[in-house]
Amino acid sequence: MTIKTHPWYRNSWFIGLTLLSFVYLASATLAKADSVSSQNDQELQQLFRQLENAADPNAADLVTSQIWNRWMSTSGDEAVNEMMERGTYFMQIGHLPLAEDIFTKIIDDHPDYAEAWNKRATVRFMRQNWRGSEADIAEVLSLEPKHFGALSGLGMIKLYQGDLPTALSIYEQVLTIHPYSPDAVKLIPEIKKALKGTAL
């Protein structure tokens, strides 16, 4: 079954959820030219421990916001900041080729900047360039393996491709990092329902 024949493809809530989630992943103004990662940052390591042990969704939301702020913390690089702002603006008004070019320029100059990869993944998703978006997500995850936003994006790509077993596995992985992930909590039961009675 392809995603076009799956009921989700026709459900406006699913399309809206995936697009809104991807826009959220690229909505902040960033200025940091080097990645801050749970692999190299003690503050992030502590925040992820708090997220894993969050008592409820509200507590998780607070920690999630701190994680995003840490990922997106500025370094005073005004040139990168301005380019990210321009790229985000063009993405939001629908000038996707130009937005992609801007994010590509940032990546070329700062290949360790995870959020530039993340934004280009968003643009490529919006252009239905699944392969390109997936490749960029792989770069994000190489820099920040706990990037639950990028993982959720990868799950969305697999859903659009109709690869429900892989999407389920990805969203279950998201839950191990972010136990109250709205996308994972919402979509895992739907995917399991769709897969019921089919071979995984």
* pLDDT digits 0-9 by tens, 69-86: 887 665 447 788 789 889
pLDDT, position 55: 94
What burial letters (b/e) apply to 93-102, b meaning 16+ CB within 10 Å? eeebebbbeb
35: confidence class by pLDDT, cuts 50, 70, 90: low
- Residue type at 164? L
Q: Residue 113: pLDDT band by 50, 70, 90 thresholds?
A: confident
pTM of the model: 0.77
Which CATH architecture describes the domain 7-27+35-195? Alpha Horseshoe (1.25)
Q: State the Cα–Cα distance between residues 19 and 35, nearest whole angstrom.
A: 25
Residue 35 vs residue 91, higher pLDDT:
91
Q: Is 50 exceeded by the pLDDT of residue 52?
A: yes
Q: Is pLDDT larger for residue 143 or for residue 72?
A: 143
The reported pLDDT for the residue numbered 163 is 96
Is the pLDDT at 137 greater than 60? The verdict is: yes
Q: Is the pLDDT of residue 107 over 60?
A: yes
Q: Name the packing angle between helices 182-195 and 148-161 (round to 10°).
A: 30
Indicate the domain borders of the chain.
Answer: 7-27+35-195
Tens of pLDDT, residue by residue over 1-11, are 333 444 444 44
Looking at this protein, which amino acid is placed at residue 133?
A: S
